[in-house]
Structure 1
Amino acid sequence: MAEDHDIAGILALTTEDVRAMPMDLDRRGIKGVLWRTFKYYGPMKILYPRPKIELNEVGDQASARVPFLIVKKEQTFPGLYQLRDDPLAWLEAIGDNADLYKLSLTIIKQDGDLRVQRTLIERFTGMGFDTE
């Protein structure tokens, strides 16, 4: 959805009271940040390894963490797909060539659907980037 600049589609996956950290944005603020990001990058790709997802025992809440990067659509990184199951190797392969981020999500079951309730985006700075 992000690659298609589908803000409404992204927000449809969230709860009404979603919060985005560290700026503590509500839905309106998130919409503004997404719009500015899409305007800045234009046609883009989002590259990431397989997310780490933890589901609670009841199955009504989950957390997910994934490193990712946003690049202009025409930019390529050969071999990343083969590293999707190894986040550390993925980070090592891409780290010197792009701006990296880590997305952490808190997901809850609401009306039978899983929806994002809280997000945290952290920018990679230095060698301490943690995929956990």
Structure 2
Amino acid sequence: MNIAIAIIKHPKDDRILIAQRKADVHLANFWEFPGGKCHPGETLRQAVRRETREEVGLEIDILEEWNSITHDYPGRTVTLFPFLCRALSDDARPLGNGKVAWVTVAELPNYEFPEANAPLIRRLLRSTVLTAAAV
């Protein structure tokens, strides 16, 4: 399953947006970066923009495409295609999620993410990419 995800930088500072999955879905109540499945014929960039609008109501600029991550869960394999993005506004709303929050990278370990996100969290914690992307 191909999943396009957005690591969304706040338009005015270095916080990033996370969203909590609803209670009635796979990996319920975990926090994640907004994103979702690619539709047939849709590019990854189109999917990440669409999913961001549908899940949190934001328009984004894509800054970087990161390497994909494949992870095996019991009963399914997912491949994440992460994009570092900047939000055009800070008006995120939980349209497809239970909650949304703007958090600092240092706060990410305080939230429970699905296992597939671990490489992304590690990269964010050891990187200055968010500060560099603001220039």
Provide the TM-score with structure 1 as the length reference: 0.25
If asked which structure has higher relative contact order (CA below 8 Å, sep 6+), I would say 2
Structure with higher Rg: it is 1
Provide the TM-score with structure 2 as the length reference: 0.25
